[in-house]
Amino acid sequence: MAGEVVGFEMVQGPVENGRKPVLNEKENGKLEKDVGAAADAIKFGTHGEESAKKKGNDVSDVHAPKDAAEDWPAPKQIHSFYFVRWRPYDDPTIKSKIDLSDKDISKKNQARFQITEALKAKRAERVELISQVKSLRGDSRQFQSIVDEKLKEIGPLQQALGKLRTTNNAGRGGLCSSEDELNSVIYSLQYRIQHESIPLTEEKQILREIKQLEGTREKVIANAAMRAKLQESMGQKEAIQDQVKLIGGDLDGVKKEREAIRSKIKQIDDALKAIDKDIQSLQEELTAVSQKRDKAFESIQQLRKQREEGNTYFYQSRTVLNKARELAAKKDINALDEVSQTEVEKFMALWNKDKAFRNDYEKRILASLDMRQLSRDGRMRNPDEKPILEEPKPAEAEALPKMAAKQPKEEPKPSPQETLPAQKESKTTQKDSKNKGRDLKSKLESKDVAETDEYEFESPEKEAPAKEPEIDPAKLKEMKREEEIVKAKQALERKKKLAEKAAAKAAIRAQKEAEKKLKDREKKAKKKSGTAAVANPEDEPKDEVVEVTEPEKINDDVQAPAPVKEKVQKESGIRSRGRARGPDSIPKAIIKRKKSNNYLIWAAAATLLVLLLAVLGYIYLF
């Protein structure tokens, strides 16, 4: 078992100075297993020895100088008291949660700040629009007052015109416009009765009409008098109409301006409604964000409370140490000794009973032991001994190199239509890259194993299963996006490579076709020259030599691309290193040789016959 203790040394000075104890803190690396051993570490002063020395040295004090206390000060007394030291422990899970919630709070604060800025901008825009609407409404009121004044001016004129129209149109309602007109109408009706031959019924009807007209005489006289009065008071009708037209033109202009201002006011009102909606939505968003922030703040408060609850022993030890310092300042040695004893007994009782307590304490002092190059049980660590603390490994940083290591496997295979040397070179390079990748992989794995072995604890029994670190969803999204970008880049590179290969193949194909055409032309020319050679046997050997050499070259050229076709067929199987088979057709040079041999045979036979005939003729003659 390894433990940490805090020691108090109480130094007692000379009596003349009046300053007795001086408090001092001291740390020790070990705590004894039992209380007795801990009690042995506590030193008490020698008060009895001093009194005895004082009694024995009374005689010598007579001859001592007056300032002896200054020249020979008394030895200082040191009282040491040891307390168990508790270190604060920051749980990594709680710490990660606190960090995440802190980041969340900062994000929410940033979002809240952005929303408040947007709200400020919208409200400023709203204030500006309201000021514009106010000014426009003042203008519209002014135009309305002008319109009202114009209407008041034009009202009596229109009434006068209306009265003139009624007086003029009085005849239309059965009344005559003047008394002279009425007299002429009555006279004409009477003339018809007197001088025309009409039936009795019609005569009776004309008499009734004359009576009616006589009854309207008073009204006609009254209307004529009224018309005369109007014309005298208001002037002519045309002048009134001109005045009405002028006022009406001004009124129309004012109304147009008023309508333009009203349309502007309507547009601004619509914009204000839209801004009000935006402000309401932003306000709702702000309340939602603030609620989320409050929840995150509550969660961080709970996590901090949980962390403080986990460090209760640390806070208790701090209170005990403060109490011990106060007692040391008061020079109460007995109380300080009692506090030290009770604390040690309490610690040992908990240590012996509770396993969780032991694990918690060991977990707290591991960092201190590792910093002081000590092992778990408080011994000095050997040079070949592994550290007791495991270094935190960045899980997120390792995820990217793994992806990068997997990327070279996605390279496209070379197309089977390439030439044989290119295929061989690509395969060798692929093999080398695969071997290198395997070597690198094995080295990395061995390195990882070595690192994990280095930072493992000495006692694997007490090791807790390492939890996988929780990855932030935003980081996951970023990693996925980076993977997609890398894949897209690889796809573009593949497309470029394929396009380059296709262009190279097309160029090779065009070159081969051009060579074929040239060879066909040469063959045709040679055939023509061959027919000429049959006609001229003297030139046969030269033509044969040319024809024999040329087709051999042609056959060599033809045989070169043959392995490519066989490679296309046998790519899925095992690659054979044997030489590719050439075409079974007999070359033209051999055929031509046979033909030339036939000619020679015929020539030899002819010469033999000539010789036989010559021999027979010689024998016959002689």
Which CATH number characterizes residue 271's domain? 1.10.287
Q: Burial, 583: exposed, middle or buried (Cβ in 10 Å; 0-12, 13-18, 19+)?
A: exposed
Look at 391 and 125; give whichever has higher pLDDT: 125
From 389, 419, 441, the end of a domain falls on 389
Residues 351 and 414 in one domain: no
The winner for highest mean pLDDT among 228-232, 326-330, 389-393, 445-449 is 326-330
Q: Is residue 395 part of a domain?
A: no
| Residue percentage of the chain with pLDDT more than 70 | 60
Residue 262 tokens, joined: 């009203």
Look at 416 and 159; give whichever has higher pLDDT: 159
Residues 102 and 148 in one domain: yes
Q: Is residue 148 part of a domain?
A: yes
Q: Is residue 608 part of a domain?
A: no
Residues 267 and 382 in one domain: no
Helix (H, G, I), strand (E, B) or coil at 455: coil
**10 Å Cβ neighbour count for 592?**
19
Q: Is residue 318 part of a domain?
A: yes
125 and 215 in contact (C-beta within 8 Å)?
A: no
From 366, 389, 412, the end of a domain falls on 389
Helices (H), 372-472: 395-406, 420-454
pLDDT tens sequence across 1-25: 455 555 444 433 333 333 333 333 3
pLDDT at 357 (0 to 100): 85
Residues 145 and 40 in one domain: no
Q: Is residue 588 part of a domain?
A: no
Residues 160 and 259 in one domain: yes
Look at 428 and 31; give whichever has higher pLDDT: 428
Mean residue pLDDT of the chain comes to 70
Residues 421 and 487 in one domain: yes
How many domains does the chain fold into?
3
Q: Is residue 180 part of a domain?
A: no
Q: Is residue 161 part of a domain?
A: yes
Helix (H, G, I), strand (E, B) or coil at 81: strand
What Cα–Cα distance (Å) separates residue 603 from each residue in 113, 438, 590, 596, 616?
114, 74, 20, 11, 20
Residues 147 and 275 in one domain: yes
Q: Which of 189-193, 517-521, 529-533 has the lowest mean pLDDT?
A: 529-533
Dihedral sign, CA of 205, 207, 210, 215?
negative
Residues 440 and 511 in one domain: yes
Look at 388 and 317; give whichever has higher pLDDT: 317
pLDDT at 106 (0 to 100): 92
pLDDT at 115 (0 to 100): 92
Residues 323 and 290 in one domain: no
Residue 337 tokens, joined: 């000794």
pLDDT tens sequence across 431-474: 454 454 445 444 444 444 334 333 333 333 334 444 445 567 77
| Domain carrying residue 376 | 5-55+71-89+311-389
Residues 136 and 228 in one domain: yes
Maximum CA extent, the chain: 193
Residues 324 and 425 in one domain: no
Q: Is residue 578 part of a domain?
A: no
307 and 90 in contact (C-beta within 8 Å)?
A: yes
Phi, psi for 269 (deg, rounded to 5): -65, -40
Residues 519 and 550 in one domain: yes
274 and 96 in contact (C-beta within 8 Å)?
A: no
Look at 231 and 360; give whichever has higher pLDDT: 360
From 389, 416, 436, the end of a domain falls on 389
Q: Which residue has the tokens 């897209």?
A: 488
Q: How far does the chain reach from its first CA to its final CA, in angstroms?
A: 143
